[in-house]
A and B are shown apart, each in its own frame.
Chain A
Amino acid sequence: EAGVAQSPRYKIIEKRQSVAFWCNPISGHATLYWYQQILGQGPKLLIQFQNNGVVDDSQLPKDRFSAERLKGVDSTLKIQPAKLEDSAVYLCASSLPGLAGRADTQYFGPGTRLTVL
């Protein structure tokens, strides 16, 4: 079974530029998550999708971050414009749509390491 795919693996940009990350979840996984992992910290949720609908985006800095999952499969996370503090690893994860609160196992992609100069 193929895992969660992400691209690019690494990205270096200057502040105020824009960047986009792509994620393809495990086949059949309706739930997709984007996490931000700053060096030395645990991952923090940015946004959660159930199929193509947003379940939780309360931690997403909406003035600069946006995400979509138009067909309920692939997802794109965008940052525009980027700030220095956006330097982090962006992790995509997917899971089966289990019962609410059961927290089915999430499977993570390799992540995209973003460096903002």
Chain B
Amino acid sequence: AQSVAQPEDQVNVAEGNPLTVKCTYSVSGNPYLFWYVQYPNRGLQFLLKYITGDNLVKGSYGFEAEFNKSQTSFHLKKPSALVSDSALYFCASPAGTGANNLFFGTGTRLTVIP
């Protein structure tokens, strides 16, 4: 079975500080991993994805994610948080080998404090 887990329901960070939103994965074979963000009353917006290659993936709005095979993690990072980054963040992976639909984590609510 393919799955991802987000160990933190809530992350608070001060504006201007670096932020990290954690994700671990359990995927057989080559992992494909995604990050999406959801603002209030909005659908999910794609941030970035890892397929293969560089372990550091750069995405939209200054976000990046680090793929770590030994720790089976794919943490989302940003060097300097903005108040406007406050939202719900989801990690995702294909639901199964050969599947195109995504299995989403439970989400992490990020609050950036001014």
Q: Which residues of A contact B (CB under 8 A)?
A: 4, 6, 31, 33, 40-45, 48, 55-56, 91, 93, 95, 98, 100-111, 113
Rounded to whole angstroms, the CA-CA distance of A108 and B95 in the bound complex is 17
Residues of chain B with a CB closer than 8 A to A55's CB: 100
**Interface of B with A (CB < 8 Å)?**
32, 34, 36, 41-46, 49, 51, 90, 92-95, 97-102, 104-107
Q: Are B98 and A101 in contact (CB under 8 A)?
A: yes
Tell me the complex Cα distance, A104–B100, Å: 7
Q: Which of A31, A101, A108 has the most CB of B within 10 A?
A: A101
* A-B complex: 6 closest residue pairs judged by Cβ atoms: A42-B104, A108-B43, A103-B94, A101-B98, A108-B44, A45-B101
Q: Which of B34, B49, B95 has the most CB of A within 10 A?
A: B95
Determine whether the beta carbon of A33 is less than 8 Å from that of B105: no
Residues of chain A within 8 A of B41, CB atoms compared: 110, 113
Q: How far is the CA of A86 from the CA of B46 in the complex (A)?
A: 26
Given contacts A44-B104, A103-B32, contact A109 B43 (CB under 8 A): yes
Identify 25 residue pairs between A and B in the complex whose beta-carbon atoms are under 8 Å apart, listed by A's number: A40-B107, A41-B106, A42-B90, A42-B92, A42-B107, A43-B44, A43-B104, A44-B104, A45-B102, A48-B100, A91-B43, A93-B43, A100-B98, A100-B99, A100-B100, A101-B97, A101-B100, A102-B51, A103-B49, A103-B99, A103-B102, A105-B49, A108-B45, A110-B41, A110-B42
The answer to whether A102 touches B32 (Cβ under 8 A) is: yes
Residues in B with CB closer than 8 Å to A110 are: 41-43
Alpha-carbon separation in the docked complex, A105 to B50 (Å): 11
